[in-house]
Structure 1
Amino acid sequence: MMKKLLLVDDEPLVLTGLQRSLHSMLNEWTMVLAGSGDEALAAMEKGSFDVIVTDMRMPRMDGAVLLKEVRRRSPQTVRIALSGQCDRGTIMSAIDSTHQYLSKPCDVRQLKDTIQHALELRRQLESSSLTKVVSQLKNIPSLPSSYQAMLEEVARNEPRLGRLAALVSADMGMTAKCLQLVNSAFFGLRSQVSNPLQALSLLGLDRLKSLIFSSHIFSEFKTDLFDKQEMAWLWEHSFAVSVGAHNIAEMLHQPPTGIDNAGTAGLLHATGKLVLASCMGKEYKMALEMAAGTGISLAEAEREVIGCGHAQVGASLLGIWGLGRHRRSGRVA
């Protein structure tokens, strides 16, 4: 089935240039062009889109406002923003409604890869309701005690960077969000960051405080499926896997980036469980009860009840956010 893309930019030459650069995908993608946010929303009233790619700086309705409206109307649509370094204020206001930020002028190969990867991840989820849940998420919830500790620390007159780093590096949700931000066009880095401590240093204390209190980039995990002890175990288990993966990578004499990648992958490996427990509690409870009552694995029970396992859900969300993807060079106008 042909996938539908909505390309939005107020500069006609840029818009046609984007369409021309993606010409090789015409046999797989149908592309609709919109010269403003209003035109984009009018196009969405006529039919749904799999992906929207929009400029951030536009008159009347900027990219931030447009993407928030797209998220409300069509949460399953993958939302990609094109932005320059001068757009940081606009970007800050769109953090909760944007899956990925790419630099402008755009690296065509990166844009094409990003769209293809997001579409493939969505296809793997199979369930339309699950696709909507994953695409609509703006953050991964944090352990309640860690979330409260983070709020208390940033509220101090002089927050301790070491304390904040310890909280972020031990929490799946905080790590994922920090990595999503620093690996976007928001920072324009040449190489991908996978170390949560480095990500926090790049964000800085002032920006972190603003993101927490104004943009609410972190949230508290709330569910009736697990008690406090079970929730604490899930985070402790993820941290232990992270440490183990980090140590194994060191023993195998991997380069520093490989060691960081291994540790972060270990920390985030159970992300899908958080997503299912917090967003599809009723269905996930059925899967847990099925696994406990029949002796089949949790992954099998998840596939039976929900349509896919928590590993696929976590991989899809993190992939749509752009994590785990290596950057490529080759910018074109």
Structure 2
Amino acid sequence: MENPSIFFIDDEPRVLNAVRRMLRLSHRDWEMHFFNSPDQALEALKSISPWVVVADKHLAHMDGVELLQKVAEVLPEALRILLTGDARLNSAVQATAAAHFIMRKPFEQETIENVLTKARVLHQLPISLHRRQQMGQLNGLPVLPKVYQRITQELESKEPDVANVAALIREDQSLLSKILQLVNSPFFGFSSRTQEIEVAVMRLGLETIHNLVLIAELYHQGPSRLLKVGDRLMREALLLAEQVCVVCDLHRVSKPVKNLAIISALLHNVGQLVLELHVEKNLAEAPTDLHEASVVGAYLLELWGFDPEVVEAVQHQCDDELPGECEPVSEMLNLALKMRHGGFDNEQIVQMVPNG
């Protein structure tokens, strides 16, 4: 997997030719392989390990979902994309067990370029091949929750509607309760509480609510016997979010930076969540390594399309020294964790504040 490469499987020659023309000049460093037969692609996997596999859903001799399931068995570390002209939700939900995400037909050049960029970022993360394969073989997480997918579809429309997003959240009373609890927490600094989800969406904006929906659902997935693990990690995330708010206020960062830092705090242990609930079998004998869990978390958040600043913050949360080019969100999360673990006291934090 040293050279970046992509498999593209579609039984329509015009689609393959269009993609070939689209990428031939702009991505010369990528090896590109085009197949009009699923069997040809599976045979090629015996000698080539692509970073990305894109398959059309409606293939003549094998459904694209079935093909990607076979790819997951042979090469679980590959980024798997389902290409479809079917915009129905059921189609997207059906595919999530096999594909990391859906690419709609017809697509623009920017769409496929974003896929290649994502693949490169994922490949550069310092995560072992063993862990990549484990992430690619999961059947529970990292499949995105259904309500989150539906809100994603709404946000991708030309004119996203607050009322539609609120209605989707309201369909699940448990989710509604968790979202309102988060919105009314002291993190976001509103002077009055609200029990109206439309008000909550308008206060925080669609993107932040979108993130909170995923957070609220993630920590309560998995087998019922393991829900206490999710509850414990959610409590830890909430406590860290409080600490992040203290750090952000001391540093007088902008509201957008503070909101991203809060989201980073609420997602900081998502890698630990996945490892403990879905991967590790003997936690009592082998507790989760927090540095490794941070990189696993960054891998998942990049896969799910989170803001790069959130991905970076989660990846570097445990670093003793941050890379020089890190964004303020990473600094806020890293400082908050050091405060929580006794690395700094409040007075030392104040001394670090510019003009403090």
State the alpha-carbon separation in 1 of the partners of residues 18 and 142 from structure 2: 39
State the alpha-carbon separation in 2 of the partners of residues 221 and 22 from structure 1: 46
* Aligned position for 2:303: 320
* Aligned position for 2:135: 134
**Structure 2 residue matching 1:121: 3-state secondary structure:** helix
Paired letter, 1:163: S
Paired letter, 1:314: G
State the alpha-carbon separation in 2 of the partners of residues 36 and 192 from structure 1: 41
Q: Is the 8 A contact 2:230 2:273 kept in 1?
A: no
* Aligned position for 2:354: none
Once the two structures are TM-superposed, the CA of residue 315 in structure 1 deviates from its matched residue by 0.5
State the alpha-carbon separation in 1 of the partners of residues 104 and 130 from structure 2: 31
Q: Is the 8 A contact 1:3 1:50 kept in 2?
A: yes
State the alpha-carbon separation in 2 of the partners of residues 288 and 129 from structure 1: 17
* Aligned position for 1:42: 43
In structure 2, the CA distance between the partners of 1:197 and 1:45, relative to structure 1 (3 Å rule), is closer
State the alpha-carbon separation in 2 of the partners of residues 192 and 102 from structure 1: 22
State the alpha-carbon separation in 1 of the partners of residues 212 and 86 from structure 2: 20
* 1:92 has 2:93 as partner: yes
State the alpha-carbon separation in 2 of the partners of residues 125 and 117 from structure 1: 15
* Aligned position for 2:81: 80
Paired letter, 1:313: V
* Aligned position for 1:281: 280
Once the two structures are TM-superposed, the CA of residue 52 in structure 1 deviates from its matched residue by 0.2
Paired letter, 2:296: V
Once the two structures are TM-superposed, the CA of residue 122 in structure 1 deviates from its matched residue by 2.9
CA deviation profile, 1:172-216 (whole Å, cap 9, x unmatched): xxxxxxxxxxxxxxxxxxx9834248858xxxxxxx9xxxxxxxx
Once the two structures are TM-superposed, the CA of residue 7 in structure 1 deviates from its matched residue by 0.6
* Count, aligned residues: 254
Indicate which of 206, 209, 213 corresponds to 1:195: 209
Indicate which of 294, 304, 313 corresponds to 1:311: 294
Once the two structures are TM-superposed, the CA of residue 58 in structure 1 deviates from its matched residue by 2.8
Once the two structures are TM-superposed, the CA of residue 136 in structure 1 deviates from its matched residue by 2.4
State the alpha-carbon separation in 2 of the partners of residues 233 and 29 from structure 1: 43
**Structure 1 residue matching 2:6: 3-state secondary structure:** strand
Q: Is the 8 A contact 1:168 1:196 kept in 2?
A: no
State the alpha-carbon separation in 1 of the partners of residues 276 and 265 from structure 2: 19
Paired letter, 1:195: I
**Structure 2 residue matching 1:106: 3-state secondary structure:** coil
Larger C-alpha radius of gyration, 1 or 2?
2
CA deviation profile, 1:236-274 (whole Å, cap 9, x unmatched): 01123345557877974525xx66544332211111112
In structure 2, the CA distance between the partners of 1:167 and 1:122, relative to structure 1 (3 Å rule), is farther
Paired letter, 2:67: L
State the alpha-carbon separation in 2 of the partners of residues 72 and 46 from structure 1: 15
CA deviation profile, 1:111-138 (whole Å, cap 9, x unmatched): 2232222233233234211111122234
Paired letter, 2:306: L
State the alpha-carbon separation in 2 of the partners of residues 277 and 322 from structure 1: 23
Q: Is the 8 A contact 1:141 1:221 kept in 2?
A: no
Structure 1: where are the runs of 5+ without partners? 143-158, 172-190, 201-207, 209-216, 290-297, 303-308, 327-333
State the alpha-carbon separation in 2 of the partners of residues 321 and 29 from structure 1: 23
In structure 2, the CA distance between the partners of 1:98 and 1:117, relative to structure 1 (3 Å rule), is same
State the alpha-carbon separation in 1 of the partners of residues 305 and 173 from structure 2: 27
* 1:166 has 2:172 as partner: no
* 1:236 has 2:219 as partner: no
Paired letter, 1:72: E
**Structure 2 residue matching 1:52: 3-state secondary structure:** strand
State the alpha-carbon separation in 2 of the partners of residues 163 and 64 from structure 1: 31
Structure 2: where are the runs of 5+ without partners? 144-169, 183-204, 310-356
State the alpha-carbon separation in 2 of the partners of residues 27 and 277 from structure 1: 40
**Structure 1 residue matching 2:81: 3-state secondary structure:** strand
**Structure 2 residue matching 1:96: 3-state secondary structure:** coil
In structure 2, the CA distance between the partners of 1:267 and 1:17, relative to structure 1 (3 Å rule), is same
Give the % identical residues.
24
Q: Is the 8 A contact 1:68 1:94 kept in 2?
A: no
Once the two structures are TM-superposed, the CA of residue 161 in structure 1 deviates from its matched residue by 3.6
Q: Is the 8 A contact 2:9 2:41 kept in 1?
A: yes
In structure 2, the CA distance between the partners of 1:56 and 1:259, relative to structure 1 (3 Å rule), is farther
**For 1:19-168, what aligned pairs fall within 5 Å after superposition?**
19-24=20-25, 26-86=27-87, 88-140=89-141, 161-167=172-178
Q: Is the 8 A contact 2:179 2:213 kept in 1?
A: no
Paired letter, 2:105: K
State the alpha-carbon separation in 2 of the partners of residues 169 and 74 from structure 1: 41
Once the two structures are TM-superposed, the CA of residue 99 in structure 1 deviates from its matched residue by 0.9
RMSD: 3.9
